[in-house]
Amino acid sequence: LISNLSLLPPDALLGLMAAYKEDPRDTKVDLGVGIYKDDAGQTPVLKAVKAAEEMLLTTETSKAYEGPRGNQLFDNAVERQIFGDNSEARAQGRVVSLASPGGCGALSVAVGFVKRLSQQGVVWVSSPSWPNHAHVVRAMGMATDSYAYDEVSSGPHAGKVDFEGIKTTLAKAKAGDGIIIQGPCHNPTGIDLDNAQWEAIAHLCVEKSLFPIVDVAYHGFGNSLDEDMLGVRRFLSIVPEALVSYSCSKNFGLYRERTGCLVAQTQSTEHTKVTLSHLADIARASYSMPPSHGAAIVATILDTPALYAMWVEELDLMRGRITSLREAMALALRKHGKDVAADRIVRQKGMFSLMQFEEGAAQKLVAEHAIYLPNSGRINVAGLKLDTIEYVAKCMAPYLK
């Protein structure tokens, strides 16, 4: 039977990760998959994570299943990250959450839920977006459509959110459709909605009866933990119902521990119960119950003041390093006459920057210079190093528009 199948190409980002590992050139630069790296090019375990693991080693007494919601201390702590400490929706019992295998596991369950709400609906994804968004939607048996997101032309709005474009494309959306909206640090553009735009998009969702899935994968990588969530909080205060997928991969550096959470906001405690029953049912048919180690680490950090302070400091350092790399890259690009690209890279937030290259540039940069980036032209800014930035900018400049 397997002879009926043909070989699939690897996932673009994961394929790039494997090709980078095998490349013997010692000048190679990895700007592919979104993983934070330090000046030495390493992705060390955060000190706060190590300290939490040490505590867990002595306090954990069982590996028995925790149930469909996983670690509820973790669930509550993530809810506080999303809604803040004084949330009316939480106080009113309109919020419930389940730990999940990474943000991706949360997204899959979220899309499965939207499908139960509207069999004929589609899920709208920004264009561009993280390629796996559309992949997850289709794998869950739903169709996707895309809404415009950023202005790429070279006018005064270049590299900004194209809010008119968002509204025009979403005019075609139908009641019951889902929409994935990324939280802080949009992947791949690094261009975020401002707070007024979050509000406007919330009203649009209400007017058109769209069901929102807010994907928060880079909390703390924009401006600060609090500031990053202002737009999302405003949005959630306007829409009556929403799901939020929250990933701890980047901000806690827990990539391989697959640590995420799916948070639901509903209109009433009764709807909260119904929603939880469906989310747990969808999860049960897939991964059954969530992994525990990463969730226990995050709960320990968020609920232990000394570890929390340690984590915030480490997160600030990661964000600060990315900001310096953006500034250094902009300086290097300006030396090569690439002012537009330089302006963009300093304005963007988070790990990524979507460079405006000529067609085929990414393949050439990989083949000729061992600079690894996906064909979309997205670079993981955290993969740059101060001592290689000049080289990277020089190699990229001839291909930049």
Catalytic residue among 124, 215, 349, 370: 215
* 287-to-100, 148, 205, 261 alpha-carbon distances in Å: 9, 33, 30, 14
Q: Least CB distance from residue 295 to ligand LMR, whole Å?
A: 19
User: How far apart (Å, rounded) are the C-alpha atoms in residues 180 and 183?
Assistant: 10
Q: Which amino acid is at 328?
A: A
Q: Least CB distance from residue 219 to ligand LMR, whole Å?
A: 13
Residue 130 appears among annotated catalytic residues: yes
187 touches ligand LMR (CB under 6 A): yes
> Closest residue to ligand LMR, Cβ-based?
34
251 touches ligand LMR (CB under 6 A): no
Candidates 173, 177, 171; CA nearest to 121 is 177
Task: Please calculate the CA angle 335-337-341 and round it to the nearest 5 degrees.
Answer: 100
Catalytic residue among 51, 110, 130, 362: 130
356 touches ligand LMR (CB under 6 A): no
Number of residues that bind ligand LMR (CB under 6 A): 6
Candidates 115, 133, 132, 112; CA nearest to 124 is 133
33 touches ligand LMR (CB under 6 A): yes
Q: Least CB distance from residue 56 to ligand LMR, whole Å?
A: 25
Candidates 41, 128, 9, 43; CA nearest to 325 is 41
* 155-to-160, 285, 357, 398 alpha-carbon distances in Å: 10, 49, 17, 21
Q: Least CB distance from residue 33 to ligand LMR, whole Å?
A: 4
Q: Least CB distance from residue 148 to ligand LMR, whole Å?
A: 20
For the chain, first and last CA: distance in Å?
48
Sort strands 371-372 and 29-30 into parallel, antiparallel or unpaired: parallel
Residue 250 appears among annotated catalytic residues: yes
Q: Which is nearer to ligand LMR, 130 or 235 (CB)?
A: 130
Residues 200-229 that bind ligand LMR (CB under 6 A): none
Question: Contact with ligand LMR (CB under 6 A): which of 20, 113, 124, 130?
Answer: 130
34 touches ligand LMR (CB under 6 A): yes
Which residues are at the interface with ligand LMR (CB under 6 A)? 13, 33-34, 130, 132, 187
Residues labelled as active-site residues: 130, 215, 217, 250
